[in-house]
Structure formats: C-alpha cells, structure tokens
C-alpha cells in the first residue's frame, strides 16, 4: 500500500516521502480502516518538526512513522476481541498515530476499535475528517471544569478548527458564546457557527465590546496566551477559568498578583494526554451531536497523498479551514 512517511525531523519537503509499505493487520482490540480522508492538524507539524529517534518504529521493512491522527474511512478487518459486525462500518478516527507509527496518511491504518467511531448515516467524510483533535480538544476545554451550561464562554479564534467546534459544542451544551476573530471573513464563519457575539480582537475597544455585549466571562478557551492574556484579564469574571490548548515558542510572563486578585484558574490542556475517560465521553457526545445535525464542517481543502508536503506547507502558512489528503 502507499503511505506518507518520514524517518527524521525537519521541513516537510525535506523529510516527507511516499512509500510502498506492507498493509497492516489488526491486532487484539484493533480494527483496520481503509482510509478515505486523512486530516492534517497544526499538531502534526510539531510532531514532524520535533520528532526524535524514539518516535520512529518499524513500519514493514522501514523504520519511521506515518503522520496524522485524524480522518475517515471504512473498517475492512478486525482483530481478536472486536465484533466482526463492524466490518463495512464507516468511521471517523481520532488519535490514530499515538503510541505507534500507523497514522492516517496511508491507504490503510490500524488503531484501537474505540478510536474508530461509527459515522451516523448521512454524515460526509469531509465533516467526519474535521473532528478528531479539534472537536475533542474543544469538548475537553468546555467540560474540564464542569458543565458550561448557563456560563458565558469566550472562545479565542472562533474561525479556527478548535474555535469552530467550541462554538458549536458550547451552544449545544447551553453556554452563551462570545468569540474573537481578526477580520470580516472569519467573523462570518464564527457567526455561522452560532456565536452569540463576535468581536475583532484587533479593535482597541475589544474588551469594552465584550463587557457591554455579554458581561464578564466565566470561561476562556485560549489559543495564544501570550498574545491575548491582557484581553482575557480585562473581561474575566472573578473565579473564571482560562484554558489554553496551544503553546507559543516563548513562554508568557504571568502577572501573578492580578491572577491571584481575581482568583482565576489557568488550565493547560493537551489532547494527547487528556484523561482517557474524557476522550471517550467526548467521542460519544460528538457523535450524538452529529446525529442531531448540530455540527458543521470547516472549509475543506483536498490534496493527493503524493502532495502531502504541499499540504503540510499550506497548514504552516495559515490555511483557513481543514487540509485533508483524499485517498478515495
């Protein structure tokens, strides 16, 4: 089978290549999926650029790793302990390449059965491929400190992948959603996702707009703590929680006394180390939201498997929406 592959860290064009590798067989508790779409996330860039020799494992006759965590496809084989009735089931995939080298950037992948979740009838591959890391990160950020129902939640970067699903899942959970964006196109995307209030964070009076439009916020889902902490502090209610799910090259300087004075909580969230029970709950609730028609896809940009390096560069250059490798 054909698979994207790298055996060292570095720039996409220098390290990513497409190889013929032996098709994997599912082990105990695993399923094999014929991949339709392999989704690319910013975290995949970090895993490629910062890979160490310990991250590379045998893949057939090669040693390295197949990238990407998310995607969609159809189960075509199951391992011992998995219901054979799952064969033929369309699924959305999460955390495929965690702990082993078989990511989704290949014609087939293998992964634990519970990480290949049945796609409800009528849900497109494109929508299914947008889920995974973005939707499950959004779910954890919303629920890690209890139900967001009747809370006011500020979502930074509401037109981004995590932001998009934080808006949709937050509204579904009964929260009032405020979001920040950088311009009219992104404002339209956040409004379409269901945000109650959309503010351009570049406006000098962004904090005033938030406070007058929604009042102090109870929770903040943050993508850039370095850049946005002043705004967050200006609009946070006493005892608010700021959940940050992304890291910048430079660590922020924290105004400790101001955080203490407001009794704020800083939570740091990483999908790959999220508690297992929270991941499984998120997968269940995201699928229920799909069944209810409550989730929508991001703008999807398709690339061929052979263009995997081009797709990575598009993500690194700030592509709006979701880049996928189309293996159908």
138-171 tens-digit pLDDT: 999 999 999 999 999 999 999 999 999 999 999 9
Window from 184-188, 200-204, 247-251 with minimum mean pLDDT: 247-251
Q: State the alpha helices, DSSP H only, in 5-65.
A: 12-15, 42-49
**Spatial contact of 103 and 51, defined as CB atoms under 8 Å apart:** no
Proportion of the chain above pLDDT 70, given as a percent: 100
CA angle 59, 31, 6 (to 5 degrees): 25
Long-range pairs, 252-258, Cβ under 8 A, ≥24: 252/225, 252/226, 254/229, 255/229, 258/233
| The predicted structure's pLDDT at residue 316 | 97
Task: Write the pLDDT tens digit of every residue in 101-116.
Answer: 999 999 999 999 999 9
The secondary structure of residue 106, as a DSSP letter, is B
| pLDDT above 90: residue 136 | yes
Residue with tokens 């690194």: 316
Sign of the dihedral through C-alpha 123, 128, 130, 136: positive
Would the pLDDT of 249 be above 90?
no
Q: Place 71 in a pLDDT band, splitting at 50, 70 and 90.
A: very high
pLDDT at res. 55: 86
d(CA 253, CA 241): 18
- pLDDT mean over 260-280: 95
Q: What is the mean pLDDT of the chain?
A: 96
Is residue 232 packed enough to be buried (19+ CB in 10 Å), middle (13-18) or exposed (0-12)?
buried
Q: Average of pLDDT values for 218-241? A: 97
Q: What is the spatial distance between Cα 317 and Cα 311, in angstroms, rounded to a whole number? A: 10
DSSP three-state, residue 230: helix
Kindly list the strands in the beta sheet with 176-181, ordered across the sheet, starting from the edge strand earlier in the chain.
197-200, 176-181, 152-156, 217-222, 236-244, 265-268
Say if residue 235's pLDDT is above 90.
yes
Which of the four pLDDT bands, split at 50, 70 and 90, describes residue 60? confident
Read off the pTM. Answer: 0.96
For residue 100, pLDDT over 90 is answered with no
């Amino acid at each position: 089978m054909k698979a994207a592959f790298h055996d060292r860290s570095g720039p996409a064009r220098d390290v990513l290549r497409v190889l013929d590798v032996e098709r994997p067989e599912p082990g105990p508790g695993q399923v094999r999926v014929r991949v339709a779409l392999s989704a690319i996330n910013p975290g995949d860039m970090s895993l490629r650029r910062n890979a160490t020799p310990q991250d590379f494992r045998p893949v057939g006759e090669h040693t390295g790793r197949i990238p990407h965590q998310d995607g969609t496809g159809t189960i075509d084989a199951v391992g011992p302990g998995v219901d054979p009735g799952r064969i033929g089931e369309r699924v959305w995939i999460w955390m495929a390449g965690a702990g082993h080298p078989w990511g989704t950037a290949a014609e087939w992948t293998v992964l634990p059965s519970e990480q290949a979740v049945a796609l409800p009838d009528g849900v497109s591959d494109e929508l299914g491929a947008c889920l995974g890391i973005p939707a499950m990160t959004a779910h954890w950020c919303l629920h890690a400190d209890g139900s967001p129902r009747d809370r006011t939640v500020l979502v930074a970067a509401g037109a981004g992948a995590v932001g998009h699903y934080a808006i949709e899942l937050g509204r579904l959970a009964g929260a009032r959603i405020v979001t920040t964006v950088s311009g009219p196109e992104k404002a339209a995307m956040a409004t379409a996702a269901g945000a109650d209030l959309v503010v351009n964070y570049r406006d000098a009076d962004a904090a005033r707009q938030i406070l007058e439009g929604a009042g102090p916020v109870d929770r903040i889902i943050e993508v850039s703590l370095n850049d946005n902490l002043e705004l967050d502090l200006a609009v946070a209610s006493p005892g608010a929680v700021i959940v940050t799910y992304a890291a910048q090259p430079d660590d922020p300087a924290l105004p400790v006394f101001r955080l203490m004075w407001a009794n704020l909580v800083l939570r740091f969230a990483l999908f790959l180390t999220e508690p297992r029970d929270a991941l499984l709950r998120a997968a269940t609730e995201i699928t229920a939201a799909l069944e209810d028609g409550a989730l929508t896809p991001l703008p999807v940009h398709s690339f061929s498997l052979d263009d995997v390096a081009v797709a990575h560069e598009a993500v690194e250059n700030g592509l709006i929406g979701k880049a996928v490798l189309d293996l159908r």
